[in-house]
Amino acid sequence: MKRLAVAFLFTAFTSVVDAKTDVIVYGDDSYPPYSYVENGKMTGIYTAVLERIFEKMPNYNVKIKSTPWKRGLSEIEANKIFALFPPYERPKQRPYMEYDMAILDEKLVVVCQQSVLSTPRPNWPDDYIGLTIGKNAGFSIGGDDFNALLKSGKIKVTETKGTPKNLLKLIAGRMDCYTNDALSIQWELKQLKADGKYDGTSVVEGATISSEQGFLGIVTDGQNYPFKNTFKDEYHRILGEMKASGEVDKIVQDYIR
């Protein structure tokens, strides 16, 4: 009888384990510090937040895999994958994904030498007339008003490939300010400080240029994913709780400190 009881308990336990639904979520493999591959493993801020959420979803066995961004968009459009992160909300451009609750706010900001912001410059771009602004080569920044000032020669722009090189130019005083995503700047400054190339205080954040929100985009056509609605409900409940408690903010701060 004891053996039968043990066998029954083992079978029951196995059934509970087997009841978990396997889910694969894909993330952009080249979007540091938010989502990228390092040493063969997905990492980044969005990855860390989602891993924590999925740990709190006992009915699902969720794996995070990497994908080149354009491939991920193509495959979720073709209903080949269930979810992709971190798209911005583009319902007209990308109706094949659903955007219900943002994970994070992403800010495009301008940072400057400390001396440049000795007088506050909260208004973009008018407060930055007469300055030289750095940007990553190939990136479009600033908006229509900025482009008009650039065309008139009232603002100058210098382009350099990559965030670290731009920040080193800013630290060295070879330009007045630099524009990019706020967390990307903070993350790179952290690396430069660790390498002894930044003093930790001479770069100051100025105006916010624009903002976006990153989501876990879930496929609109759920016919291949019968678990979609229950997964979404649980995911959004936990994400909402983590945002309200400050847990998401803590993950972000721990990552960039």
CATH architecture, range 105-211:
3-Layer(aba) Sandwich (3.40)
Asked if pLDDT for residue 7 goes beyond 70, the answer is no
Tokens of 222: 């759920």
What value does the mean pLDDT of the chain take?
91
Over residues 81-103, the pLDDT tens digits come to: 999 999 999 999 999 999 999 99
Please report which confidence band the pLDDT of residue 137 belongs to, taking 50, 70 and 90 as the band edges.
Answer: confident
Q: Which pLDDT score, from 0 to 100, does residue 5 have?
A: 39
Distance CA 43, CA 23 (A): 18
Over residues 232-251, the pLDDT tens digits come to: 999 999 999 999 999 999 99
Q: How many CA atoms lie within 13 A of 132 on its CB side?
A: 10
Q: Which pLDDT score, from 0 to 100, does residue 9 have?
A: 40
Over residues 142-197, the pLDDT tens digits come to: 788 999 999 999 999 999 988 899 999 999 999 999 999 999 999 999 999 999 99
Q: Which stretches does DSSP call E strand in 29-79?
A: 30-31, 35-38, 41-43, 60-67
Distance CA 61, CA 75 (A): 21
Q: Which pLDDT score, from 0 to 100, does residue 162 have?
A: 84
Q: Which pLDDT score, from 0 to 100, does residue 18 have?
A: 57
- With contact defined as beta carbons under 8 Å apart, do 78 and 175 qualify? no
Over residues 30-83, the pLDDT tens digits come to: 888 999 999 999 999 999 999 999 999 999 999 999 999 999 999 999 999 999
Delimiting residues of CATH 3.40.190.10 domain(s) in the chain: 20-103+215-256, 105-211
Asked if pLDDT for residue 226 goes beyond 50, the answer is yes
CATH fold for domain 20-103+215-256: D-Maltodextrin-Binding Protein; domain 2 (3.40.190)
Q: 117: which residues sit within 8 A by CB, 6+ positions away? A: 204, 206
